[in-house]
Amino acid sequence: MEREIRILLVDDEELVRRSLEKTLLRAGFDVETAGNVVDARSLFEAAHSSDAPFDLAVLDLQMPDAQGRENPNAGLDLLSDLLAVDANLPVIVLTAFDDVSRAKEAVRRGARAYLVKGHEDRLVEKVETIFQ
């Protein structure tokens, strides 16, 4: 029996995070959540050094940075940090804003996909596509 795909979901908005978590859990994924970049890094590092690393990360773009300041690039910085540890980690970047330049930047930094929030069905579809 194959193990479940483990997903790290990071979003500072609790209602969004819980909604996305439920969507991914219903689709059969094993999901751990973090509400900020500090907790996300901690969860990622602990999982990476265990026998159950994350298979994929879903990151919000705009959230507070490690110092607690609102930062439109906190998710991009976290993306770079995670890929520095695991260059093969698939990452999907989420945002509330549909901005082509930020999409290009996310892909340039290594994101596999860039999705606008509110399209949970596309998120599940994208995750499934990555692991086909």
Give the pLDDT of the chain (132 residues) as one tens digit per residue: 456 899 999 999 999 999 999 999 999 999 999 999 999 999 999 999 999 999 999 999 888 888 888 888 898 999 999 999 999 999 999 877 767 777 788 889 999 998 888 877 789 999 999 998
pLDDT at position 20 is: 94
pLDDT of residue 98: 66
In the prediction, which pLDDT does 123 show?
92
Architecture of domain 6-130: 3-Layer(aba) Sandwich (3.40)
**Residue 61, pLDDT score:** 85
Which residues touch 14 (CB under 8 Å, ≥6 apart)? 35
φ and ψ at 71, to 5 degrees?
-140, 115
The DSSP element (H or E) to which 15 belongs, if any, is helix 14-26
pTM score: 0.93
pLDDT on residue 63: 87
Q: Domain limits of the chain?
A: 6-130
State which H helix or E strand residue 103 sits in: helix 100-108
pLDDT at 50: 94
Q: Helix (H, G, I), strand (E, B), or coil: what is residue 116?
A: strand
What pLDDT, on the 0 to 100 scale, is given for residue 83? 97
